[in-house]
Amino acid sequence: MAIRKIRQAGDEILKKKSREVETIDDRLQILIDDMIETMHEYNGVGLAAVQVGILKRVFVIDLYDDKGPIVFINPVIIKTKGEHEVEEGCLSFPNQFAKVKRPEEVVAEYTDRTGKRMRVKAKDLLAQAICHENDHLNGEVFMDKIIPGTLEYIEPEETK
């Protein structure tokens, strides 16, 4: 496993649409393991493959609960319910946070890393993370959706 370089704001790849995963092979498993390790290294809740420079429809989410990381391959959001304002950040936009509108609940279908098609009904942080990471797969970033006047820059601890 390896820590991968996270693509930052301004990198053109973040605006590109990711391609469907056709086969779940050893290379994809290595990518998934690296993405989970990278997400944990930077204390992220989610990470999309495009954020490490790979245009594949894959993302990982970890709510740091007893369930561990969830791997989403070729995810599709099939239903949303409600809407609320939430604060978001993104590993590709370090130390920047803003409010965005997200669904309160989502139903998503995806393939897990074993190749099994799954369905999840999510709310709260999981629903938010699924929407945020799914946006990445479509070439959208949370900065495209921020509520005007809510962007904040938090200075990193080591520079204070």
Q: Report which DSSP code applies to 31.
A: H
Region of 39 on the Ramachandran plot (φ > 0 left; ψ -120 to 50 alpha; else beta): alpha
CA nearest neighbour of 21 among 57, 54, 48: 57
pLDDT of residue 158: 63
- Quick check: is 105 catalytic? no
Q: Element (H or E) spanning 33, and its range?
A: helix 26-41
In which residue ranges of the chain is pLDDT below 70?
158-160
DSSP per-residue codes, 81-147: E--EEEEEEETTEEEEEEEEEE-SEEEEEEE-TTS-EEEEEEEHHHHHHHHHHHHHHTT--GGGSPP
Question: Which one of 41, 85, 133, 155 is the catalytic residue?
Answer: 133
State how far the Cα of 87 lies from the Cα of 146, in Å rounded to an integer.
Answer: 9
pLDDT of residue 155: 85
Domains, in order of start, for the chain? 12-159 (3.90.45.10)
This prediction has a pTM of: 0.95
pLDDT of residue 160: 46
> How does pLDDT run across 66-85, given as a tens digit for each residue?
999 999 999 999 999 999 99
